[in-house]
């Protein structure tokens, strides 16, 4: 699990971007980080992964302070998929194999290759395995980056808008895979997502940010019309259709 205590971060101008951040995500859980633009969602994810160094606070992964580990050990504990990824001249297979880098001492083992093949199959990328990633669409590339992260076999998976470049079918397919992997592999997932209805369908917990702080954090009980309206400054109702809760905004 991941546990965050008293996290504080500011850029050089000194204005706090995050303060008093406290939450935890259990093994097998998916937590959605929600909030309007500029709320600090991407900054939070980068602080958890030590891309940004918080000025205060502690981040534990299974009891270890991630802020004190070596970079290679961090990569064994947390995997991160950014919002935007640039294609380079690597094949899909080689890109996913890069996820094994923290474990490779001299050269990849048969086990590394087997695991990469398994992840590629799980993400339904077999037909793309030998294609170069700079030839892929944005949605295809996003799935490859997620596959690379899964190849790390992380304890915590951090996703910054994993559905941003995906069409409707692939949005549901990818989040279904993420949730299934979280449950079966007992991975803690933290994901930034703007689509509240996808969050309601696939996430267990919801962390709502406002004014650089956590406005509320909890299960489905915190996704009330009042809380959503307060965060996004637009009136909404929450309805249930065929057993699935959906957010409907009022224009």
pLDDT beneath 70, residues of the chain: 84-87
pLDDT attached to residue 163: 86
The pLDDT, as a whole number, for residue 86 is 64
Among the listed residues 29, 24, 18, 92, the one whose alpha carbon sits nearest the alpha carbon of residue 52: 18
- What is the model's pTM? 0.91
Q: Please state at what angle helix 110-122 crosses helix 138-151, rounded to 10 degrees.
A: 140
Residue 198 backbone phi and psi in degrees, to 5: -65, -40
Within the chain, strands assigned E span 2-10, 16-25, 30-34, 56-61, 64-65, 78-81, 156-160, 188-192, 205-210, 213-218, 236-241, 244-249
Rounded to whole angstroms, what are the CA distances from 111 to 94, 104, 118?
15, 11, 10
Widest pairwise Cα distance in the chain: 59
Angle between helices 138-151 and 168-185 (to 10 degrees): 0
Q: Cβ neighbours of residue 90 under 8 Å, at least 6 residues apart? A: 98, 132, 133
Name, in order, each residue with C-beta under 8 angstroms of 27's C-beta and a sequence gap of 6 or more: 1, 155, 186, 187, 188
Q: CA-to-CA distance for 239 and 248, rounded, in angstroms? A: 7
Query: How many residues appear in the chain?
Result: 251
Domains of the chain: 2-249 (3.40.50.300)
Could you report the per-residue pLDDT of 157-191, keeping only the tens digit for each? 999 998 887 888 889 988 998 999 899 989 999 99
- Please say whether the beta carbons of 188 and 157 come within 8 A: yes
Give the CA count within 13 Å in the CB-facing half-sphere of 195: 16
Q: DSSP class of residue 27?
A: T
């Amino acid at each position: 699990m991941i546990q965050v205590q008293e996290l504080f971060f500011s850029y050089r101008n000194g204005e706090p971007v995050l303060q008093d951040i406290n939450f935890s995500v259990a093994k097998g859980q998916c937590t959605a980080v929600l909030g309007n633009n500029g709320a600090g969602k991407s900054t939070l994810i980068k602080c958890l992964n030590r891309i940004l160094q918080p000025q205060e606070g502690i981040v534990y992964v299974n009891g270890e302070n991630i802020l004190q580990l070596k970079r290679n050990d961090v990569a064994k504990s947390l995997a991160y998929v950014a919002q935007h990824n640039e294609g380079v001249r690597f094949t899909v297979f080689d890109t996913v194999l890069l996820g094994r880098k923290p474990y490779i001492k001299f050269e990849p083992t048969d086990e590394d290759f087997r695991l990469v093949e398994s992840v590629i199959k799980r993400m339904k990328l077999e037909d793309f395995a030998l294609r170069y990633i700079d030839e892929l669409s944005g949605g295809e590339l996003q799935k490859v980056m997620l596959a690379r992260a899964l190849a790390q076999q992380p304890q915590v998976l951090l996703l910054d808008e994993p559905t941003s470049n995906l069409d409707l079918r692939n949005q549901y397919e990818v989040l279904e895979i993420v949730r299934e992997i979280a449950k079966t592999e007992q991975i803690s997932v933290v994901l930034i997502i703007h689509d509240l209805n996808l969050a309601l369908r696939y996430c267990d917990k919801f962390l709502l940010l406002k004014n650089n702080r956590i406005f509320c954090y909890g299960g489905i009980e915190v996704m009330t019309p009042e809380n959503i309206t307060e965060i996004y400054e637009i009136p909404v109702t929450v309805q249930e259709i065929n057993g699935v809760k959906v957010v409907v905004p009022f224009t």
